[in-house]
């Protein structure tokens, strides 16, 4: 006969107690914060970037995407230099998007309206389920990456699975070479945006030429009256190899750490949750060396960071697979102000963090059986596909008043 650890038993009972009360909404308020790399959610329109350098960088109209056929409707000037925020200032230019061709009706994937809305409906169904078994609702906050335009986010928000939640949208166009961005959906009845801005990441090649990637999206607001900041990330990929590309992700990590530092300098108890596809695992140098987060709440220092994905990674689970091996690139990193060591839920604290890897999100046959079920395998389309990443979510909890 084996012995049951008393502390473990009490923890299980406590978690069960909380779960039941959250579902009943009698003693606790809850909010799911989710992140999903939706993999190439492109619309069907050939578009270009229109940059209005007469506006501030954090104005949502500074950089917008327009149909290529509409260029003549905009005041522009010829511009052949490498784009920087400094040399674009005061100018109105058109920026070509070079990697959207395959997601057009005449592209290799024969991308069309039917396939686009199939993708939107598939992704929105998944989003609607994240954390719902605990909270009884879709997520209050959803960070998303690999969306092409603000309109793709709006189409997700208007989908049949999500429409009733009345999501607002935060999005800024980045200068990413692929033309994909980060964005945020939020339930307008529960989250009020105070501030939103993009943070660019400056990386350069050996010749000193700018290498464009996704901005880090910062959104600060009131979640049920409590101020929390969310940082949505999609760090540079491992293209060319993990070691060769590591400096680009280290730079992204330093930019994100700078945002944390700025927010904590204004308020040492600031609540900040960074989420995203970091293209690195919890033990990678970009995470370990810059943040050194603890994976266990009991080990989080007063001014430290918490990465709840670390224990999951050590168990061998992941959010995507490459060459028959799992990686856990999709993570949350939070300030210590969002963890409680004494079960004090008087304000929002992290209760539970999970990878959403239900069976229907996994491929059921072939070489990728058990891995995330993608909509595209090369140029082969699967209507029942979703993304090459599993979504992740964390549930915040506080005592109801």
Considering the domain architecture, whether residues 199 and 139 belong to the same structural domain is answered as yes
Q: Domain limits at 244?
A: 29-42+104-399
Q: Tell me, yes or no, whether 130 lies in a domain.
A: yes
Q: Provide the CATH number for the domain around residue 391.
A: 3.60.10.10
Q: Which residues contact 47 (CB under 8 A, 6 or more apart)?
A: 65, 66, 67, 68, 97, 100, 148, 149, 179
Angle subtended at Cα 378 by Cα 376 and Cα 383, rounded to the nearest 5 degrees: 20
Mean pLDDT calculated for residue range 195-205: 93
Q: Which residues contact 56 (CB under 8 A, 6 or more apart)?
A: 62
Task: List the structure tokens of 349.
Answer: 């604290």
Angle subtended at Cα 330 by Cα 191 and Cα 333, rounded to the nearest 5 degrees: 60
Considering the domain architecture, whether residues 87 and 153 belong to the same structural domain is answered as no
Q: Tell me, yes or no, whether 257 lies in a domain.
A: yes
Considering the domain architecture, whether residues 171 and 38 belong to the same structural domain is answered as yes
Mean pLDDT calculated for residue range 389-397: 98
Q: Tell me, yes or no, whether 253 lies in a domain.
A: yes
Considering the domain architecture, whether residues 311 and 253 belong to the same structural domain is answered as yes
Give per-residue pLDDT as tens, 42-59.
Answer: 999 999 999 999 999 888
Q: Tell me, yes or no, whether 7 lies in a domain.
A: no
Q: Tell me, yes or no, whether 6 lies in a domain.
A: no
Give per-residue pLDDT as tens, 93-124.
Answer: 998 887 788 899 998 899 999 999 999 999 99
Considering the domain architecture, whether residues 88 and 210 belong to the same structural domain is answered as no
Considering the domain architecture, whether residues 35 and 76 belong to the same structural domain is answered as no
Cα distance between residue 215 and residue 201, in whole Å: 6
Give per-residue pLDDT as tens, 213-242.
Answer: 999 999 999 999 999 999 999 999 998 899
Considering the domain architecture, whether residues 128 and 167 belong to the same structural domain is answered as yes
Query: Do residues 222 and 194 make contact, with C-beta atoms less than 8 angstroms apart?
Result: yes
Considering the domain architecture, whether residues 195 and 54 belong to the same structural domain is answered as no
Taking the whole predicted model, whether its pTM rises above 0.85 is answered as yes
Number of domains in the chain: 2
Domain boundary among 63, 79, 99: 99
**Structure confidence at residue 66 (pLDDT):** 93
Q: Tell me, yes or no, whether 368 lies in a domain.
A: yes
Considering the domain architecture, whether residues 270 and 296 belong to the same structural domain is answered as yes
Cα distance between residue 89 and residue 54, in whole Å: 6
**Structure confidence at residue 63 (pLDDT):** 92
Has residue 353 got a pLDDT over 50?
Answer: yes
Q: Tell me, yes or no, whether 323 lies in a domain.
A: yes
Query: Which residue spans within 235-314 are E strands per DSSP?
Result: 272-277, 305-306
Considering the domain architecture, whether residues 144 and 116 belong to the same structural domain is answered as yes
Q: Tell me, yes or no, whether 296 lies in a domain.
A: yes
Considering the domain architecture, whether residues 169 and 305 belong to the same structural domain is answered as yes
Considering the domain architecture, whether residues 307 and 205 belong to the same structural domain is answered as yes
Place of tokens 């990686």: 327
Length of the chain: 401
Mean pLDDT calculated for residue range 373-392: 92
Share of the chain above pLDDT 90, in %: 77
Domain boundary among 71, 99, 127: 99
Cα distance between residue 261 and residue 303, in whole Å: 11
Coil vs helix vs strand at 121? helix
């Amino acid at each position: 006969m084996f012995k049951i650890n008393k502390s473990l038993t009490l923890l299980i009972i406590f978690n069960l107690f909380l779960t039941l009360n959250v579902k009943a909404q009698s003693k606790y308020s809850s909010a799911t914060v989710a992140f999903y790399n939706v993999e190439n959610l492109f619309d069907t329109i050939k578009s270009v970037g229109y940059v209005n350098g007469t506006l501030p960088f954090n104005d949502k109209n500074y950089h917008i995407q327009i149909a290529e056929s509409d260029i003549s409707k905009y005041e522009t000037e010829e511009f052949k230099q490498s784009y920087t925020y400094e040399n674009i200032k005061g100018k109105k230019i058109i920026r070509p998007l070079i990697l959207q061709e395959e997601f057009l009706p005449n592209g290799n994937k024969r991308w069309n309206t039917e396939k686009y809305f199939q993708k939107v409906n598939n992704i929105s169904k998944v989003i609607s389920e994240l954390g719902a078994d605990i909270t009884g609702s879709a997520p209050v906050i959803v960070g998303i990456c690999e969306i092409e335009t603000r309109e793709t986010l709006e189409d997700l928000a208007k989908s049949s699975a999500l429409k009733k939640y009345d999501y607002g949208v935060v999005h800024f166009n980045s200068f990413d070479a692929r033309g994909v961005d980060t964005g945020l959906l939020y339930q307008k009845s529960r989250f009020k945006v105070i501030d939103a801005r993009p943070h660019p990441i400056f990386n350069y090649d050996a010749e000193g030429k700018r290498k464009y990637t996704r901005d880090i999206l910062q959104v600060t607001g009131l979640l049920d009256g409590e101020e929390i900041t969310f940082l949505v990330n999609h760090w540079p990929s491992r293209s060319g190899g993990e070691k060769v590309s590591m400096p680009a992700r280290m730079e992204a990590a330093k930019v994100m750490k700078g945002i944390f530092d700025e927010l904590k300098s204004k308020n040492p108890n600031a609540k900040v949750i960074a989420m995203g596809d970091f293209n690195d695992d919890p033990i990678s140098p970009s995470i370990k060396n810059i943040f050194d987060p603890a994976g266990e709440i009991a080990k989080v220092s007063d001014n430290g960071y918490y990465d709840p994905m670390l224990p999951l990674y050590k168990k061998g689970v992941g959010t995507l697979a490459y060459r028959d091996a799992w990686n856990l690139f999709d993570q949350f990193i939070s300030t210590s102000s969002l963890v409680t060591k004494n079960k004090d839920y008087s304000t929002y604290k992290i209760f539970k963090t999970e990878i959403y890897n239900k069976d229907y999100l996994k491929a059921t046959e072939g070489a990728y059986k058990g891995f995330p079920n993608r909509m595209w395998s090369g140029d082969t389309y699967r209507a029942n596909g979703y993304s090459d990443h599993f979504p992740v979510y964390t549930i915040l909890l506080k005592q109801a008043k």
